[in-house]
Amino acid sequence: MRLQYFASWCVAGAIAVSATSLPADEFDDHVAAIKSVQKEAIGNDAAANAVKALSTLPVTSLTRLLSAFQDASPLASNYLRAATETVVDRQLAAGVKLPTKDLEAFMLDRNQDPRARRLAYETLRRVDDTAEGRLIPGMLLDPGAEFRRDAVRLLIAKATEQAATNKDASIATYQEALKGATEEDQVKDISGALKKLGVTVDLQQHFGFLTNWKVIGPFDNKGLIGFDATYAPEKSIELAAKLTGQSGEVSWGDVTTKDDFGVIDIAKSLSPYKGAVMYLTTNFVSDRDRTVELRLGTPNAWKVWVNGQLLFGRDEYHRGMAIDQYRVKAALKSGTNSVLVKLCQNEQTEDWAQRYQLQLRVCDSSGVAIHEAKQTAHASK
């Protein structure tokens, strides 16, 4: 979505200013002022003045502006977008041609900021009606989620047309689209269409959900004491151990799920669970040292550890649940990695407060599933 209203606010009157180049140090100073802006309105005036100055740049400076998005906060990126769009609007109004080859090269450079790459593409499309058809089909596995979504959308449209006349071609196209699909709605559309064509999609495998766990509990969360309490599983994971729980001795047991979206439903498999803490653990075998994302969905308070290191937690209950609701970066080592999740349920009695669930998957930063190096790896190892 273009931020014309934002640009107008920041650079009132800038359209009338002729294009001027800026020395490198002056350009850098303006960018620094924009990147220093804070949510509390600190630095807004300096940032607005910087936008006015940057908005006078010629179109030959577009990729320079786009490169400035690197490491910019969401707020700062809005200022940079305003400056970029004003440069484009002003120069197009003056009949100046955009540097389409430079914009295309920038868009295709995966090392650039995803927001800037997308803006380069949107700018290119304003003057090149062939951009989508030429470029998007090749971006099915692009790290930019919007580009990948566009590529999947085009393939879904193609497969839908093929379905009426060529079943095999339609299946092949849907399966190709599935390679790049990471968002729930598109995956559901593709898997539903394939099912009608006689092909079943393993959604657990596609998303990379972890479905086999060991679980122990309940531990005490009466009065919401459990989130901050340190119970034995946080100190060490000993699957043969018998521990003192909320109401007596507890031990590790198995829990698994066949749910397409990997939902572990503790409320249906274990009791008591109100005012309680449960721990779940599993192993994940990685083929190398790498950084991944753990993406969780849960309506409960939670913490997660990898190899004994606490990564993140959220002490909040019943705010809903969605796939990829929370995203946590994790450093995996080559070989077996332990994953531990602490899941807390409060004591509310309303019908809507009874969900005690978790779904967790392993993927890269673009949402593409990362699977275990050895499919035989299991929580009990």
pLDDT of 42 reads 66
Q: Pull the structure tokens for residue 111.
A: 């090392």
Pairing verdict, β 276-286 and 212-220: antiparallel
Residue ranges in 197-230 assigned as alpha helix (H): 203-207
Give me the residue spans of the domains in the chain: 2-128, 145-201, 207-363
Question: Residue 230 and residue 246: Cα distance in Å, rounded?
Answer: 13
pLDDT of 272 reads 67
Q: Pull the structure tokens for residue 145.
A: 């989620």
> In what order do the strands lie in the sheet containing 212-220?
253-256, 212-220, 276-286, 335-345, 301-306, 309-314
β partners of residue 309: 306
pLDDT of 10 reads 45
pLDDT of 354 reads 85
- Residue 116: name the closest of 65, 50, 151, 82 by CA: 65
pLDDT of 104 reads 98
Angle at 210 between CA 205 and CA 214, to 5 degrees: 145
Q: Pull the structure tokens for residue 70.
A: 């690197």
Question: Residue 358 and residue 280: Cα distance in Å, rounded?
Answer: 10
pLDDT of 20 reads 62
Is the bond into 299 cis (omega within 30 degrees of 0)? no
Which parts of the chain have pLDDT scores under 50?
A: 1-17, 375-381
pLDDT of 116 reads 97
Q: Say which CATH class 207-363 falls into.
A: mainly beta
pLDDT of 2 reads 46
Contact yes or no for 360/303 (Cβ under 8 A): no
Contact yes or no for 254/317 (Cβ under 8 A): no
pLDDT of 349 reads 81
At position 329, the amino acid (one-letter code) is: K
Q: What's the pTM value of the predicted model, to 2 decimals?
A: 0.83
